[in-house]
Amino acid sequence: MDSSRLKQKAMLTIKNITKQYAGHKALDNVSFNVPPKEIFGLLGPNGAGKTTLLRIINQIIPSDAGMITIGGEQLQAKHTSTIGYLPEERGLYKKMGVEEQLLYLCRLRGTRQSEAKNQLHYWLDKLAISHLKQKKLEQLSKGMQQKVQFIAAVLHQPKLIILDEPFTGLDPLASEMMKENILELNQSGATVILSTHRMETVEELCSTVVLINKSAKILEGNVDEIKEAFKNATYTIQYRGISKDLRANKGIYILSEHLNNDTKSFTMTIRDGYTADQFLRDTLHQNIEVVSFNEIIPSMNEIFINTVNLTN
Cα gap 216→65, rounded to integer Å: 14
Q: What is the pTM of this model?
A: 0.89
Higher pLDDT, 242 or 214: 214
Q: Which domains does the chain have, with CATH numbers?
A: 3-228 (3.40.50.300), 232-296 (3.30.70)
What's the whole-number mean pLDDT along residues 281-291? Answer: 85
Say if residue 186's pLDDT is above 50: yes
Note the Cα 302 to chain centre separation in Å: 14
CB 154 within 8 A of CB 123: yes
Cα gap 68→82, rounded to integer Å: 14
The pLDDT tens digits of the residues spanning 41-53 come to 999 998 899 999 9
- In terms of C-beta density within 10 A (0-12 exposed, 13-18 middle, 19 or more buried), how is residue 39 classed? buried
Residues near 253 by Cβ (< 8 Å), separated by ≥ 6?
Answer: 268, 269, 271
pLDDT at 8: 61
pLDDT at 1: 42
The pLDDT tens digits of the residues spanning 82-130 come to 999 999 887 788 899 999 999 999 998 889 999 999 999 999 999 999 9
Of residues 208, 193, 212, 218, the one with CA closest to residue 27 = 212
